[in-house]
Structures are given as structure tokens and as C-alpha cells.
Chain A
Amino acid sequence: MKTQIIEKLKAISRPKKYPDDTYYTSISLEDIPSLAKSFKVDSRKIEIMALEEGIVPERYARNMKTFSPEDQANLLKSQVSIVGLGGLGGTVSEILARTGIGTLNLIDGDRFEASNLNRQFLSTYEMMGKFKTEAAVKRIKEINASIAVRRHDEYLDDKNSDALIRRSDVIVDCLDTIKTRFILETASKKAGSPLVSAAVAGLSGHITTIFPEDRGLELIYGRPDDLKSKGAEASLGCLPSAVSVLAALETAEVVKIILSRGSLLRNKLLIIDLMDNITEVLDLL
């Protein structure tokens, strides 16, 4: 059947021009679900087959040049866990869905309340009182129906963490308590998956990337036993500009990890302070 799908893809794809006047072969947004329906195959698989033939699903046309069709297919074959769907997680899920990460595993037991509206892009009047995961699934499906979504309406803890994050190519820490971040780090190391971790207070924040063999969060926070659950954000809140910048930085790390490309923030901490326009990459070791 794969041969038939590829023949059909070649028949209905069309040459198009990038803004720099170079040509590519495009398959339209509408043709993907219609092919998926007629061959009874996931639309994500159709997109992967197209990309492996050098045919670019039009929704990913502006990812190309930075990504090759093969890179885009690899992103579609990947699974990323997003732990926490507040300010960081809501934006991370949106960007990763648009980027074309094939499977998003969403974990959060929280429901929206009015104080989330300043920074959590998934929170709306309609979603007040509803699970954050519900809003995330709805939004992802509105953006990119090819993305497979796994939804877990529960808080991560030391009992459920291993099961919740298994089979992740990358895990994104979008949590809002420091102690739970350590639980997630322990589980990520056990699972052998890289973890990207960001945190915000007011207009400041930081982000790092932790591979299983790295020392990780203890280099930032010290020993977990010595910590209060909440940090400076308890008195400063979280501003949407800082949250969005750090969420975007997390997604860039995710893509670089999956594609083995560029420089990662391993044993480094990128800090930002938007009040004084400070960004700096610091050495943790």
C-alpha cells in the first residue's frame, strides 16, 4: 500500500516557489487528510512518507531550509512529553505542534483559574475550571490534526512519574514547583531521556538542558532537601513576556536535541532578565 500512497502523493503534489525563488514540491494542507482517509492511514504517516520522498507538506514549507525534509520526518516520528501546561507548557505545546513534533504527551492535573489569564495562552473565558490538558488537546488539534496527543489529567509525582514519561525522546519541564522538578529529573534520568528545564519569576528566568548523566538541577538549586517548594515567583508572579521567551527557548532545545544539531545548554544556564535586557549563558561547571 505504501507504493500506492507514494504514487498518489507524486501525482497530486505540485511545484511551488520559496520566497527566495527556489522550487520545491508541495502537498497541500487539504490533500493530506483526504489521502489519510482514502487509504485509512494516519495523516502523520502520510506526511512522513511525503517528506521521505522529498515532498513538502505545505504547512511545513517555512520550516524547510532550516530543516531538511528528512529532519522534518524525524520530528514527526518523535515523541515529546510536556510536564505542566501552564504558562511555559501552553506555549511549548503550541510551538511544538506547529513545528511538527509527531507525538505530544501532555501531563497536568490542574484546571484553569482566572489568575492564569495573564500568561497562560491556553486559558480563556471558555476554559475556566476545565483541565489544562483539555485546552491543550483542543488547541493542538485546531493547529495540526496530524499530531498524536496523549493526555494525562494528573499531577506528576514520585509514584506515577515513570509511567507518565516513558518512551519520550525529550521531556520538557514546564512545572511551577521546584520540588516536583527534582522528581521529574529523577524520572527522566531513570528513563534515559534528556530533560529541558526552564523556570520564571517576574521578568527573570533561566533554562538548562539535562542529559541522564549530567548533574542537572542540583547545580542550579542545590540539594532538593534544603528547598522550599516555591521560589521567587511566589512574591514576583510570572510575567507573560518572560514566560513566553523561556518557553520558546525550551522548544529550540527540544528540536536541537532531536536533530542532534547546534549547541545545547548542557551544564550551562541561559539566564534572562527582561527588565534590564540581560541575556547570558553561564557555565554551571
Chain B
Amino acid sequence: MIVHVTLKLFATLSRFTPDSADRYPIAPGTAVKHLLEKLGVPEDDVRLIFINGIKGCLTSTLKDGDRLGIFPPVGGG
């Protein structure tokens, strides 16, 4: 079975954004960590993980319709 999530990769991570980011297919229950590995996003560059507007972590699992946002460390001004 395949479900779909929405992906938003911020700042330097945007280059890893897949074409199907608005409707990205995953197996239900996929962990954020595995999804990021598949996209080639280096784990060291991942600082903030948000699922549906709430802070998550690498081991959080995803379900159909989830919105996943990932921020690298950002410190400029």
C-alpha cells in the first residue's frame, strides 16, 4: 500500500526536494529518517523536523496526508 505526504525542505536542503514533493509516495509508517535517507539528505544537516506543524524527530513515522517540513541549522542575520 502506498500513501502520500507533502514535503518541504528549507534553505540549503531545498536542493534535495523531489519533483513530487506535493504528493510524495511512501509506505505507511515510514520513519522520517528513512525518508530522508532515500532523498539523500545528510542527517547532520537536519536540525528541525516538523510534522503537521508540530515538532517531530528522526524516528517519527508518517501517515497519509502528513505535511513534513525540515530545516537545516539557520543562524544568519
Contact = CB atoms under 8 A, between A and B. Distances in A.
Interface of A: 84, 86-89, 174-178, 181, 198-202, 204-206, 219-222, 227-238, 243, 269, 271, 273, 275-276, 278, 280-285
Contacts of A202: 11-12
Interface stretch (B25-33, B35-43, B50-58): B50-58
Interface string B65-77: 0000101111111
A231 B73 contact: yes
Contacts of B63: none
Interface string B1-35: 00000001011111000000000000000000000
Contacts of B77: 84, 86-89, 174-176, 198-200, 238, 243
B69 A271 contact: yes
B47 A176 contact: no
Contact of A178 (B14, B53, B54, B73): B73
B75 to A, nearest CB: 4
Given A204-B10, A232-B12, A273-B10, A283 B53 contact: yes
Given A280-B53, A282-B54, A221 B73 contact: yes
B30 to A, nearest CB: 21
A208 B76 CA distance: 14
A132 to B, nearest CB: 12
B73 A228 contact: yes
A273 to B, nearest CB: 6
A87 B47 CA distance: 23
A200 B12 CA distance: 12
A125 B76 CA distance: 23
30 contacts: A84-B77, A86-B77, A89-B77, A175-B75, A176-B76, A178-B75, A199-B76, A200-B74, A200-B76, A201-B12, A201-B72, A201-B76, A202-B12, A204-B10, A220-B48, A230-B75, A230-B76, A231-B74, A231-B76, A232-B72, A232-B76, A236-B76, A271-B71, A273-B10, A280-B53, A281-B53, A282-B53, A282-B54, A282-B55, A283-B53
Contact of B74 (A175, A222, A232, A285): A232
Contacts of A237: 76
A199 B53 contact: no
B20 to A, nearest CB: 16
B72 A285 contact: no
Given A233-B76, A236-B76, A282-B50, 14 more contacts: A87-B77, A88-B77, A177-B75, A199-B74, A201-B11, A201-B72, A206-B71, A206-B74, A229-B75, A231-B74, A232-B73, A243-B77, A280-B53, A282-B53
Contact of A222 (B14, B47, B69): B47
Contacts of B47: 220-222, 231
